[in-house]
Structure 1
Amino acid sequence: MNLRFAAPDDAAALADLGARSFVAKFGYMYTPEDLGNFLDESHSAKKTAKEIADPAMRVVLAEEAGKLLGFCKLVLACGWPEHAQGSKVVELKQLYTDPDTTGRGIGSALMDRALEIAREHGAEEMQLSVWSGNEGAQKFYARYGFGKIADIHFMVGDQRDDEFLYARML
């Protein structure tokens, strides 16, 4: 498996994987209209291309033999400053793997790289949000030293999802 920063020509494949991963894990929770609108806004090739080009973000891909296996998006700014403990905080925006490749260590490799990038950036803390019902992800983040620091929410169309804000000092 190779980890590398995303390039502009990765936008379509990255958007497709993000949408497929989200639908596989959470699609059942939403009306078709809410889900469709959310995917159009959050997982379009156009939005993904903007994120790749954004100097305030780092988008890391995991691939093998030219196949995209997963990705993570790191925002080099604090997503929830009202809950910050450190003076320089970054946000892990997304960490997704291809639904067909779960359990191969891809998420761990991406998390290790995200933490490395955060430290290289001089961050003192990393924050992330996780759906309150996603116990598997919560256990994964706990293994990396993240703990719940607040209750927050996430909107998908008209539906409000209860989420947990997790953080850890670096």
Structure 2
Amino acid sequence: MELRLANPADAADLARLGAHSFTVKFGHLYRPEDLHGFLAEAHTEAKAAKEIADPKMRVILAEQDGRLLGYCKLVMACGWPEHARGERAIELKQLYTDPETTGQGIGARLMDWALEEARRFGADEIQLSVYSDNPGAQKFYRRYGFEKAADIHFMVGEQRDEEFLFAKVL
């Protein structure tokens, strides 16, 4: 498996994997119209292309034999300044893996990259949002030293999901 920065040609694959991963993990929680609307806004080729081109973001891909296995997005800005403990906090926006490859160390490689990239950038804290009823993801983040910092929410269409803000001081 290799890691590399995303480029504009990766936008379609990035959008496809994001929509697929979200749907497999969480799709059953939502009314079809809420899920469809969310995916049509959050996981499109156009949005992925915009994020790849954004100098305030870093998008890294995990690939093997030309197949996209996962990705990680860092926003080099604070997502929740009201909860920041650091002076230069950044946000881990998404760390997604292909559902068929979960448990193969892809998430760990992506997280290692994210932490190293944050340090290179000079960040002193990383924040992320995790679904309150996703103990597997919470366990994964805790392994890396993230702790719950606040209760927040996340909207999928008209549905409000209770989320936890996790943060790690670097």
Task: Specify the TM-score bucket, using the shorter chain as the normaliser.
Answer: over 0.9
| Deviation, structure 1 residue 152 | 0.1
Aligned to 2:134: 134
Aligned to 2:75: 75
| Deviation, structure 1 residue 47 | 0.4
Aligned to 1:5: 5
**1:7-86 equivalence runs, <5 A:** 7-86=7-86
Indicate yes or no: 2:97 matched with 1:104: no
3-state SS of 1:92 partner = strand
Aligned to 1:120: 120
Partner AA of 2:147 in structure 1: G
Distance, in Å, in 1 between the alignment partners of 2:139 and 2:103 is 14
Distance, in Å, in 2 between the alignment partners of 1:40 and 1:9 is 20
| Deviation, structure 1 residue 54 | 0.2
Aligned to 1:168: 168
Indicate yes or no: 2:150 matched with 1:150: yes
Indicate yes or no: 2:113 matched with 1:93: no
Normalised by the size of structure 2, how large is the TM-score? 1.00
Distance, in Å, in 1 between the alignment partners of 2:159 and 2:98 is 25
| Deviation, structure 1 residue 64 | 0.3
3-state SS of 1:85 partner = coil
| Deviation, structure 1 residue 157 | 0.3
3-state SS of 1:55 partner = coil
Distance, in Å, in 2 between the alignment partners of 1:49 and 1:40 is 14
| Deviation, structure 1 residue 2 | 0.3
Report sequence identity in percent: 69
Distance, in Å, in 1 between the alignment partners of 2:119 and 2:89 is 10
Distance, in Å, in 2 between the alignment partners of 1:137 and 1:33 is 26
CA RMSD of aligned residues (A): 0.3
| Deviation, structure 1 residue 16 | 0.1
Runs of 4+ in 1 over 4 A off after TM superposition: none
| Deviation, structure 1 residue 77 | 0.1
| Deviation, structure 1 residue 151 | 0.1
3-state SS of 2:77 partner = coil
Normalised by the size of structure 1, how large is the TM-score? 1.00
| Deviation, structure 1 residue 37 | 0.5
Partner AA of 1:13 in structure 2: D
Count of residues paired in the alignment: 170
Distance, in Å, in 2 between the alignment partners of 1:85 and 1:33 is 38
